[in-house]
Amino acid sequence: MNNPVPTAQPARNPLLEDWDSPYGLPPFSQVHPEHFAPAFELAMQAHRAELDAIASQQQPATFDNTIAALDGSGRLLNRIDLLFSNLTVSDTSPALQAAEREIAPRLAAHENALYMHEGLFGRIDALFERRQSLGLDDESMRLLERVHLDFVLAGAKLAPDARLRYGKMTEELANLTTQFAQNLLADESGFLLPLREDADLAGLPESVRSAARAAAEQRGLGPNASAVTLSPSLAEPFLTFSARRDLREAVWRARMQRGAHDGEHDNRAIAARIVQLRQEQAALHGYASYADYALADRMASGTAAVLDLLAKAWEPAKAKADEDRVRLAAMARRLGQPTPIAAWDWRYLAEKVRQEEFDLDDAELKPYFTLDNMIAAMFDCAGRLFGLKFVEQANPGLYHPDVRLWEVRGRSDTLIGVFMGDNFARPSKRSGAWMNIFRSQSGLNGGTLPIVINNNNFAKASPTLLSFDDVKTLFHEFGHGLHGLLSQVRYERLAGTRVLRDFVELPSQLFENWALEPQILERHARHWVTGEAMPQALLDKLAAARRFDQAWTTIQYTGPALIDMALHSLPHGTPVDLAQFEAGQRTVLGIPEDIGQRHYLSHFQHLFAGSGYAAGYYVYMWAEVLEADAFGAFTEAGDPFHAETAERLLKHIYSAGSRREPAQAFRSFRGRDPVVEPMLEKRGLMV
């Protein structure tokens, strides 16, 4: 019998020690990938001991000794997990990816053991059954109800054999979603289109050329080379401006085919297996489909409500796109380009039409949108609305040199949290934009201040110039960041962004509105060379073109949302060939080939890099209904920074976390339920 070779363990593990860094930040420079597995093991053991202690108490269950105690448990595990999950998406490495593959199923098993803990759930269930007699305040009642539902939806009420099967499925799903995300990152970071000749740069404005040079240098091609990557902040401007139709097609196809080709990074079978497991998961809970199971804990209480909303935008958008296509085809003929147009032509031709009809060139706008100025703009808005001040700290010693850190101070100059910004694309970072936390706000045991981070994937250059879509993304993620920073609740389970999935996008999408405010643009949209404010004529043209090409944007989003709902509405036992299913849906829905989809299933990480947005990609439009109506409160007040309206917004939305049911929270702010018309009007889709 061979004795196993002992694995060398580090002499000390900073993950298990007190973190005495400023603000309680992780000791980034001391942490290495090999620290995580042993730290997770000890932290999970400690958490299990806490759970056993709660469950085995001799005293009868009370809110404090069971629900509040559960909310306060697992702090060591949580801080390690938050650090690990941030690093694996923001600055990963082969060693971290190996650790992730090892740890993901173990974390899933631990979470499964938590929710299947019979003694613990017995106490929670007993409290839930007599909740009306406990004399709880509203926030405590909300926590009890949320915790109980968490356990039920995670399988706590399943029969023993079903619980065993459920646990095996959650571990397999953890492996599969991890592999899906890693495959996607490998595909994205592995693509590089060198631009070797002057002809390859035809049509590109200087801002895109500068970003292409920076991308080539980052990939080791040398200081004088240029290249295109699949980072949206470089690939999308390239598709918009490049006069080289063949190169546009190459970039478009590479983006579309991520995860959809033979080889070790093929995501098609992985996604199909995830769907199969989700079907079984829903069936074990007694639901007809995974969509029904997922929507049990959403504002939209069923698929009919989701499909009704998406339909209100889908057909009008297709009709409007038919009109737009005529103008784009005419432009193509004038430019000597072929018709019918293709998907890699639409952005390019739309930009030409926009320049002609509105005398507005995105290349003319970009010099006024430097990253630093737009960060100052969003901080200015937060100050005017909520009295916040952001004080940058030099050399904070974070996980990457590009990351910046600000103290966040309230009206009385009191520290209320820490905000970090990681804004640039790199090969070690997943694509997209997101908000995350390193520590949650809570009000118990002296309270904890939130540590919030925003990640973007802007193309790094000197200076970094943003498109207006990039500016909206920056503001969007900062809206999430404010939701975490301004949280004022007692219990961590209810803090910040831990709200229903179709409510979580309200604070983020709402904050985008302030990026368009003339007084903000007049102050902060300054030319990076001259420092001059954006001319009024250009501001007027930007406002006039606001609804331009919204049909294309709506179809790009709504098509994948409808496919998501169709895929996750399949009953248990339905086999799925991912490519065949998606092609069939494109035909059924009538997705125009020359527009296509923002996300194809093989790289749709909203659905398959985790479960949060599965049967839930619709939430962006659901939240857009809320935000378009909500911003109307400021319009009606006659001031985008109206103090009384901003105070209501802070009280009922940004600081409230999940303290109240979201529909009630919206009514408290707006004075009524939302209506859909402002969203349709905003998109130019009123019929």
Catalytic residues: 477
Of 329, 324, 359, the C-alpha closest to 342 is 329
Q: Over the range 147-169, which residues count as b (16 or more CB within 10 Å of their CB) and which as e?
A: bbebbbebbbebeeeebebbbeb
CB 391 within 8 A of CB 407: yes
Lookup: tokens for 667 = 């009514």
Q: What is the DSSP letter of 423?
A: E
- A 10 A CB-CB count for 463 gives 16
CB 226 within 8 A of CB 214: no
- A 10 A CB-CB count for 513 gives 20
Residue with token string 């404005």 = 205
Query: For residues 660 and 428, what is the distance between their CA atoms, to the nearest angstrom?
Result: 38
Query: For residues 20 and 17, what is the distance between their CA atoms, to the nearest angstrom?
Result: 9
CB 67 within 8 A of CB 493: no
Q: Please tell me whether residue 456 adopts helix, strand or coil conformation.
A: strand
Of 352, 356, 456, 450, the C-alpha closest to 406 is 450
Q: Please tell me whether residue 674 adopts helix, strand or coil conformation.
A: coil
Of 377, 379, 372, 458, the C-alpha closest to 422 is 458
Residue with token string 């949280």 = 487
CB 537 within 8 A of CB 525: no
Q: Please tell me whether residue 392 adopts helix, strand or coil conformation.
A: strand
Lookup: tokens for 406 = 């600000």
Per DSSP bridges, beta strands 415-424 and 193-194 are unpaired
CB 291 within 8 A of CB 569: yes
Which amino acid, residue 621?
Answer: M
Enumerate residues 6+ apart whose C-beta is below 8 A from 530: none
Beta bridge partners of 453: 420, 436
Which amino acid, residue 686?
Answer: M
Enumerate residues 6+ apart whose C-beta is below 8 A from 382: 388, 390, 478, 482
Of 368, 540, 542, the C-alpha closest to 466 is 368
Query: For the chain, what is the radius of gyration of the CA atoms?
Result: 25
Q: Is the peptide bond before 662 cis (omega within 30 degrees of 0)?
A: no
Query: For residues 506 and 1, what is the distance between their CA atoms, to the nearest angstrom?
Result: 60
Lookup: tokens for 597 = 């989809």
Angstrom CA distances, 514 to 64, 361, 400, 653, stand at 42, 22, 30, 16
- A 10 A CB-CB count for 119 gives 12
